[in-house]
Amino acid sequence: MKVDFYRHSLGTEDAQAIAEVLKSPFLTTGPVAERVELQLAEYFGVPYATLVNSWTNGALATLLALEIGPGDEVIVPAMTFIASANVVELTGAKTVFADVDPVTLLLTPQSMIKHVTARTRAVIPVHLYGQMCDVPQLRAALDAHPMARERIRIIEDCAHCFEGERDGRKPGFASDAAIFSFYATKNVTCGEGGAVITRDEELHAKVRETRLHGMTAIAAKRFAGGRYNHWDMRRLGIKGNLPDILAALLPRQIATIDERLPARWALANRYREAFLGGPLRLVAMLQACRHTEHIFPIGVPGGKRDEAIAALNAAGVAITVNFRAVPETTYYRERYPEAAGACPVASRWGEETLTLPLFPGMTRDEQDHVINAVRSEVYRLVPAT
């Protein structure tokens, strides 16, 4: 049997939503995107949401709006996807890596605070795999720091965490901005896409501009009212707007995300039960969190991860690695040699981890096949502890 790493569950209703957009003259950002932005703001209980064409471009637009650049520092956890750090590098600011908690793999106030200097302008906590960092605690630690000259901004990386909560709070509650990804494998997807939500009116107004070249009006507004309306450019921006033709895939998914979550919980818990007491490392679950179970990583100790990948692939199971520790990649090693090796928790997990298939349309037979392959092929590589 072959088990895919991921299969999307979009269907005829979604094709119909795209067909509707094709009937209108507007393929790019317009009325559909505007409706989705209102839907997002309502879902998260924040006043402002802006659609973008990726997490990466949403984060870049946010950093540009905050005028973060050369001479500034931004703290990023060492265990994340490279994009969380790349956006900092692209602005010319310095990425400062903080190690993560060994049990949850999340950024903690203790690991973050060691890296705060007078140059720190922002922190990007990553809600890795779908469990949220404690953002109010990060905020409190930053506010109390004697070096913080101005309020250090918190930009949540919610690429794994659309429907997650911590202490009953959703992303965007205690941060300056929270950024989502609608990439192909995300719990809410339109192939490529993202969103920036915020409670900060000024930041919101600037992000609307920096996500589209710095222009003061999107195309829909430039031609509004059947006449041409002039625009200006007040700040430098990128091309990061989400077209209506992709935004059309989002309303149904946002409306149903909460009812679709238990299917992910069931799959993830079945893996957890199957591997309980075995030799693998599993990420601890936090009572305070509503987990999105975006992906299911395991840790294969004893230097056997790559053998485990080969064995699972040979058994027809597609896997991936989420993630290598970012400071260990060649670019970051060369740029910040002092950071490579300075985040031992992230480095170790980056060498041990692999991610098993998990998607709502996964059948019981498919999951049984993965579980059996792990127990027969991976367990024998790792001596029980």
Query: Is 378 strand, coil or helix?
Result: helix
Of 65, 66, 83, 188, the one binding ligand PLP by CB under 6 A:
83
Listed ranges 36-44, 50-58, 131-139, 255-263: which one lies at the site for ligand PLP (CB under 6 A)? 50-58
Q: Which one of residues 54, 175, 355, 367 is an interface residue with ligand PLP (CB under 6 A)? A: 54
Question: Distance between CA 167 and CA 161 in Å, rounded?
Answer: 14
Q: Please, which residue, 116 or 155, has the CB nearer to ligand PLP?
A: 155
Residues 137-196 that bind ligand PLP (CB under 6 A): 157, 159-160, 181, 183, 194
Which of helix, strand or coil describes residue 320? strand
Q: Is 198 in the site for ligand PLP (CB under 6 A)?
A: no
Stretch that binds ligand PLP, among 26-34, 76-84, 215-223, 283-291 (CB under 6 A): 76-84
Answer yes or no: are the C-beta atoms of 51 and 195 closer than 8 Å: yes
Least separation, in Å, of the C-beta of 279 and ligand PLP? 27
Question: Do the beta carbons of residue 309 and residue 354 sit within 8 Å?
Answer: yes
State which residue, 193 or 279, has the beta carbon closest to ligand PLP.
193
CB of 215 to ligand PLP, least distance (A): 22
Taking a C-beta distance cutoff of 8 angstroms, is the pair 96, 84 a contact? no
According to DSSP, the β-strands at 177-181 and 153-157 are parallel
Mark the segment that binds ligand PLP (CB under 6 A) among 6-14, 15-23, 78-86, 362-370: 78-86
Cα separation, 165 vs 290, in Å, equals: 5
Count CB atoms within 10 A of the CB of residue 320. Answer: 16
Distance CA 81, CA 160 (A): 11
Instruction: Return the residues of window 257-316 that contact ligand PLP according to CB under 6 A.
Output: none
CB closer to ligand PLP, 16 vs 331: 331
Q: Minimum CB separation from ligand PLP for residue 60, in Å?
A: 9
- The least CB distance from residue 169 to ligand PLP, in Å, is 20
Give the chain's end-to-end CA distance (angstroms, integer).
30
E-strand stretches of the chain: 48-52, 73-77, 94-98, 120-123, 153-157, 165-166, 177-181, 194-198, 289-290, 296-299, 353-356
Q: Rg (Cα) of the chain, in Å, rounded?
A: 21
| Count of residues near ligand PLP by CB under 6 A | 14
Q: How far is the CB of 158 from ligand PLP (least distance, A)?
A: 8
CB nearer to ligand PLP: pick between 65 and 382: 65
Active site residues: 186
Smallest distance from the beta carbon of 159 to ligand PLP, in angstroms?
3
Distance CA 218, CA 28 (A): 9
Would you say 33 and 184 are in contact if contact means Cβ atoms under 8 Å apart?
no
What is the contact mask toward ligand PLP in residues 324 to 363, using x (rule: CB under 6 A)? ----------------------------------------
The CA distance from 32 to 339, in Å, is: 44
Distance in Å, CB of 89 to ligand PLP, minimum: 14
Judge contact between 189 and 249, C-beta under 8 A: yes
Q: What pairs with residue 290 in β-bridges?
A: 165
Residues lying near ligand PLP in the complex (CB under 6 A) are found at: 54-56, 80-81, 83-84, 126, 157, 159-160, 181, 183, 194
